[in-house]
Structure 1
Amino acid sequence: MRRKDWLIGAALGAVLAAGGITAAVASTDDSSGSSGSSDSTKVPSSSSADAGFARDMAVHHQQAVEMSYIVRDRTKNQEIRRLAYDIAQTQANQRGMMLGWLDLWELPKVPPGEPMEWMDMSGMPSAGDGSLMPGMATNAQMKRLGELNGKQAEVYYLKLMTAHHKGGIHMAQGCVERCEVPVERRLAQGMVESQESEVKLMADLLRARGARP
């Protein structure tokens, strides 16, 4: 599959997912009836955990998609290409969902303050190394990934994506604890479970290549 096909597939999946999730959230809101007294009808504020998670995780996911496209063109190993494809498709679809929520809530996609202000980042490494958020790769690291080939590219991708997933898991757990929209909490919990599983898989793939997780 060519890179263009990946991009078209990811974009189409994101559009369909965004439409589906918007309908689901709207349906949840309508279920409270005409009284308007239920908490489920409340639109999150721009500074809420719901909005903050949707904005920040959309950015976080976009980098994972880009990273996966890069390694797809730097290796012929089918196992790595399959993992990269799965991550790109899944995270592009989820990104579409989160941007769909922000549109539904009529909230800006750019945070009013600094990224991650909606949650406690204690215990996570500082993003002061040039990355936008903990777990995200720096511009220099992204450039380096695009310069490697074969096994070197595979190992570097697996290490970058492992760190990326760990940052994403921490963010998703923050939403599970703080978000108020039920469908968003469910998506966040699904992210935690799927990315923890992928971290274990990537550790095995690194060991198989003689590298430390």
Structure 2
Amino acid sequence: DTKEKIIVTDSVFSMDGDRADLTEIVHLAEKYNALTVVDEAHATGVLGHGRGLAHELGLEKRIDIHMGTFSKALGSFGAYIAGSSDITDYIRNKGRAFIFTTSLPPAVIGANIGALKWLKHNPDSGYQLLEKAENLRSALNEAGFDTADSSTQIIPVIIGDNFAVQQAGKLLEEANIKAGVIRPPTVPEGTARLRLSVRLDLDDEEIRHVVSSVRRLKNA
């Protein structure tokens, strides 16, 4: 019965690499007259021809606030918020973090614009990335590794034990593979993991190297 209601969600979750059920979230928001805020940080540049999961699902006009970052797939720095003029004017005038921040340097803004232009001319690059990620994920699954519900470029390899995942991270680093070593409280107890984030420039040989290196962890 609260008068003001807001539903806030990521579109792609950073630790499992799975996707939010935006269709159901938007349905609930419309049913209960709630604002929707969707953070496309891990979907920008990848899903929906680079525009994010909301665009891929045709929901962009039914979501009140879209936000994302230039610091991940777009390889730069800074972030954005998009919405109606009423919402963006309110944030400009009432958002303390925005009011007291410093503008981005011109070089960074130029890099952001350049990244958007590149994406506009390479709209299928995200799907090429997802194909590489699916190849890697399938190979890891075939080798018996748990990759949770990942369906994006973020692939967790669930190890479970905190000490074991630290050792696994060191072994991969020795093989020139940088994997995030993620432990509680960032993730639930018993789900410590290696976090792999696939890059578009990885070739088939490099992906095979990742798979073979992760496989060796079972014998470590």
For normalisation by structure 1, the TM-score amounts to 0.27
Of structures 1 and 2, the one with the larger relative CO (CA 8 A, separation 6+) is: 1
Higher strand share: 2
Larger radius of gyration: 2
For normalisation by structure 2, the TM-score amounts to 0.27
Higher helix share: 1
